[in-house]
Chain A
Amino acid sequence: MNSNNNILVKLNNAGFRQSEKWLVEGVSLTVEKGKIVTLIGPNGSGKSTTAKIALGIYKNIEGSVEKYTTKVGYVPQKISIDWTLPIRVYDFMLLTETIEDSAIDEALSLTGVIHLKNKNLGSLSGGEFQRVLIARAISKKPELLVLDEPVQGVDYTGEIALYELIKKISDTLNCGILLISHDLHMVMTATDHVVCLNGHVCCSGSPLDVAKNNEYKALFGEKASQILTTYEHKHDHIHSDEGEIKKN
């Protein structure tokens, strides 16, 4: 059935309707091993819905989803931890899969929150919590990573470092990543394929192709397009979590 062994998940003309209203329709995309596919689009354009269709969270969908992996790591857009449930970062890391302590420490170190390991999840700040969410998703060494605005609430320097990390993970684990991001720099530098959504796929292709697309310009404005097309210099350095610059 799977003619291409590298395919992790494939959406064929997929859509989802909630009480007679289409949240998104007609989406076709493929996430392959080692590739980063980014979904962009305005609020309410169906980015999260598309991610949830790919993950199999929504069941009664139009079209079809073919999924060729069960090793999935997911960073949802929003999680709220109820006070009634006492849970530390450490417990949260073990939530869906039992993993070695060393793998937990490694993942928490990579996202710069190892010092929070025994803290209560409810006591973390927004940015800290995002870092823990990313650490949890990568610690299980997934084949498919789905990241729904993974760096929301993270400070600017941390944001860049985390995106570098995501890129690195995609390379070292050779996992496929489905990313929802507003950060057009990230889209430009690391993404292999961009899908621009607005209730349906309005355009898709390589970042440069999308940036030149007229529908994209209409949706995001001329300025956003310029950011993408003029963003051509290569980084010769990376930023650590503390914001210091390291040469590549």
Chain B
Amino acid sequence: MFDDFFIRALVAGIGIAFVTGPLGCFVVWRRLSYFGDTLAHSALLGVTMAYTLDLNIAISVFLISSIIALLLIQLQKRTNLPGDALLGLLAHSSLAVGLVVIGFLTFIRFDIMGLLFGDILAVTTDDLLVIWTGGALILIVLKLIWKPLLASTVNYELAEAEGLNPDRAKAIFTILMAAVIAISIKMVGLLLITGMLIIPAAMARNISDSPQKMVLFSIIGGLLSVILGLYSSLEFNTSSGPSIIAAALILFILSLFKIKQSIKLKN
């Protein structure tokens, strides 16, 4: 069944959408889209490490992204630079270092376009295993930290005062972010992963009135984007990442009509 590359890509994309949906909502709520970008850019270093040391790409990206996330937390504590400057520093320098390292690795043929924008031909059966087991793990952990994470998203002090340990939830969430980037990099490409996280969630915001509904619609939006995107990628011979994100954008634009209606109703 998984012999066909397109079926593999579809199964992989569906697995990714289930995870990016709920995580993307928290990225939107907690204003972490640039943070997601930084982790995604640093993923290139992870990919080069995977090739040189012959590791699984997802695992190596996960390790590097987690290290970058920890580094960011340390830098935030020790310097006075504002958060966005630090994020930019880490995002672009890790991207640059990754590209330089690729330049040195002349003995390996890199598909740079595939890395940056995703490649449905590249998804193997091993990747499916990583995506679905990794994805299931991410969702289980997210379910466990849901209450403290949501409470501290609303108000950190309230969560802390009522004994929910928001700092721990935040640290775990950071690791989940690294993990979701690791499992979706092949499919969506490192430049577009943040789009996969925030565009379906932004679409869902326009049509939801509770956190749970927003998560649900975000997953549905992600699934539709993957299916529409992959079919058009096949049809028009475009990279998978841009096709999926473009489909997500169309859904977002459609959701704007709904919000216009509700604004009209209010007035």
Contacts and interface: CB of A to CB of B under 8 A. Distances in A.
B154 A79 contact: yes
B211 interface: yes
Nearest to A79: B155
Interface residues of B, number: 25
B37 to A, nearest CB: 17
A72 B162 contact: yes
A76 B211 contact: no
Interface in B114-161: 147, 150-151, 153-155, 157-161
B205 interface: yes
Contacts, number: 67
A172 to B, nearest CB: 21
B161 A85 contact: no
Contacts of A70: 163
Interface stretch (A20-28, A30-38, A92-100, A154-162): A92-100
Nearest to A69: B163
Interface string B195-219: 0000000000100111111100000
A84 B29 contact: yes
A88 interface: yes
Contact of A85 (B147, B153, B157, B164): B153
Nearest to A133: B158
Interface string A58-97: 0000000000001011101001011011111011100111
B211 A87 contact: yes
B228 interface: no
Interface stretch (A49-57, A195-203, A214-222, A223-231): A49-57
B158 A86 contact: no
Nearest to A121: B154
B160 A55 contact: yes
Contacts of B256: none
A92 B210 contact: no
A124 B205 CA distance: 19
Contacts of B211: 85-87, 91
A120 interface: yes
Given A91-B210, A92-B154, A95-B154, A86 B163 contact: no
26 contacts: A52-B157, A52-B161, A55-B157, A57-B161, A72-B161, A74-B157, A74-B158, A74-B162, A76-B157, A76-B158, A79-B155, A81-B154, A84-B205, A85-B153, A86-B208, A86-B210, A86-B213, A87-B211, A95-B147, A95-B158, A96-B151, A96-B158, A96-B159, A96-B162, A97-B162, A146-B161
Given A84-B29, A87-B211, 11 more contacts: A55-B161, A57-B160, A74-B162, A79-B154, A81-B154, A82-B29, A84-B28, A86-B214, A88-B210, A96-B164, A120-B209
Sort A-B residue pairs by CB-CB distance and give the 10 closest, nearest first.
A55-B161, A74-B161, A96-B162, A85-B29, A86-B208, A57-B160, A95-B151, A96-B151, A79-B155, A57-B157
